[in-house]
Structure 1
């Protein structure tokens, strides 16, 4: 597989379309930080920090 600029742009376009579709279909929801309580740090790694929390709703 070529790792050129066109390939990266195509992959980003496909990813963006998939993500936008998931939000439109309510597969992914935005939750504000204030909607959670008892937020506890678990660990961190290459992709970021991991927390656990209780959703107030």
Structure 2
């Protein structure tokens, strides 16, 4: 019936909406993790440069 079909469409729409919200939340988490990795990469690069500077002091 039309009413049954409308109800099925409503339920599917709610499920799709919930899945979209889950994907959105996962995307936000991934973006935050990517920013954290980028910041760690910059910090590691700075430490490597500092270490290189210290190593040059001990070269003969």
Q: TM-score, normalised by structure 1?
A: 0.40
The answer to which structure, 1 or 2, has the higher relative contact order (CA under 8 A, 6+ apart) is 1
- Please say which structure displays the higher CA radius of gyration: 2
Relative to its length, the structure with more strand (as a share) is 1
Relative to its length, the structure with more helix (as a share) is 2
Q: TM-score, normalised by structure 2?
A: 0.38
